[in-house]
Structure 1
């Protein structure tokens, strides 16, 4: 991950909101042969007694479940919109083009929960994605008991205690003001990701160029 100070988001609340908006995390680790494994699952973050905790669930007895049982160290990657940035948009176009994106990496140790923990994670997950509609037929507590018990035999909940968190919000902060403005205007004409990045850059403009 880029370790350049001008690409770093310092506000912890902004980072949390980013994770909340992009909860479908890429979890990676290593198996018993030190081969990489990965899976993608929705993950939620919360603070408990000053500790950052990620929680979610995966299927039992899969390669990633077995790997995480063997090796508790895990990396969770949260990614958002990303887009190509052409150097043709710079005030000096004779430079390399690049890519703008936002990403958060959380390293930590994973542990697996009991049945009560699984119920709580499933309740949290279904409520969240159903817009906290208590009456939705698909939230955990409204599912038939027999179905819940059958389903829960095949999945397991986990928690990850975050030991290190890093981020890159690479949004052309290293460009001059003219280039920055040009990039925004060009990205507004691109696809949805480009437009989202343009809006994020606009929101940060005064922080990047306070005298502009």
Structure 2
């Protein structure tokens, strides 16, 4: 029968004076315990082992050399921000100028439109008045002939004066009298004479008086003209 082999025991180190080196013995005694611990820590095949772990985020430690770089980066960001604000302000000013010009143009167009409408309205009113007053001019001629013959007296004369006053309120003006200088734009000469009593062409006789509506000529006056000799 074969004897079981005993575990090898580390030989003790003997110093020169015959003493046993206890350090070697203690190290030899601790080695089996470490091997047992390693065997216990070795995971069994198929067993799930929970291991705790901690994730550490990398932390950047500010270095003294980084401060100028950070300041430069901040300055660049501020410059870019100011540049963006300047461009936006310029765009807003341009748009404001365009809107202002549009408003001025629309205002001028509206003012011209109002002037044109007012002028057209005045022309329409003047034309309507001219048509009505022109139709009444023969009646006024009859009143003038009646006045020249002395028939415009009594109540009939009063009615004639009221009619002339009412027509005058609408802007009707009568012209053409003996002794007026001859005006070819207002007078229509039906006879020409020479006279030593005049120094310029003069109306010496009026056959029919003329009428104005404001500055508009409704009818020229029929006159006889005397030219100087």
Q: Say whether the fold is shared (TM-score over 0.5).
A: no
TM-score under structure 2 length normalisation? 0.21
**Which is richer in strand?**
1
**Which is richer in helix?**
2
